[in-house]
């Protein structure tokens, strides 16, 4: 939906081209066939609608072009909000890729919520008991240490992103002139 919103009107191949240009296959599990299936499903749920292309020139087989509906915009906004707070890497990556479709202040608030959640997670992980000879995996000092290190890195990168946004980096939907 984010690609469709960015482009205004596009077809399945246009979505595929955009995602391929971004190398989205390295941070998502999107495959070409799944794009067309997703477009059909989004249309059946009223998130997108087919539109006339306005292109009178015949350049091959007809393509169905789509635009986002108001319901689709609301759903995309909801998905982006959840993604920017998520600890799931693929969801977060998609949220960051489309964050400029939300107002800057809202993105900052969502990332600050994510940061608070990550800090709580580290605090919790540091309370886990460990054993030199672990009786189960949750008490393995190396495993707990890896979890803490992973979340600390997520904290560091989230803080860096927040600082960049506070410094005015990137252009958000509420800052673009019509």
pLDDT digits (tens, 9 = 90+) for 20-74: 777 766 666 666 677 888 888 888 999 888 887 655 554 545 578 888 899 999 9
Q: Where are the beta strands (DSSP E) in 37-76?
A: 48-51, 65-68
pLDDT digits (tens, 9 = 90+) for 139-150: 999 999 999 999
pTM over 0.85: no
Interatomic CA distance for residues 135 and 173, integer angstroms:
52
Residues linked to residue 49 through DSSP beta bridges, in sequence order? 67
* Contacts (Cβ under 8 Å, ≥6 apart) of 91: 82, 83
CB 67 within 8 A of CB 48: yes
Q: Specify the pLDDT at position 127.
A: 95
Listed residue (157, 156, 171) closest to 104, CA to CA? 171
């Amino acid at each position: 939906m984010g690609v469709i919103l960015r482009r205004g009107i596009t077809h399945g191949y246009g979505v595929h081209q955009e995602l391929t240009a971004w190398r989205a296959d390295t941070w998502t599990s999107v495959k070409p066939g799944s794009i067309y299936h997703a477009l059909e499903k989004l249309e059946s749920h009223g998130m997108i609608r087919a539109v006339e292309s306005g292109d009178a020139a015949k350049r091959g087989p007809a393509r169905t072009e789509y635009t986002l509906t108001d319901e689709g915009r609301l759903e995309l906004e909801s998905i982006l909000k959840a993604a920017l707070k998520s600890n799931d890497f693929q969801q977060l990556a998609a949220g960051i890729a489309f964050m400029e479709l939300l107002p800057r202040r809202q993105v900052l608030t969502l990332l600050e919520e994510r940061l608070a959640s990550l800090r709580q997670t580290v605090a919790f992980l540091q309370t886990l008991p460990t054993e030199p000879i672990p009786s189960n995996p949750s008490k393995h000092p190396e495993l707990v240490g890896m979890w803490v290190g992973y979340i600390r890195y997520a904290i560091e990168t989230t803080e860096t992103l927040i600082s960049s946004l506070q410094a005015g980096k990137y252009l958000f939907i509420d800052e673009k002139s019509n």
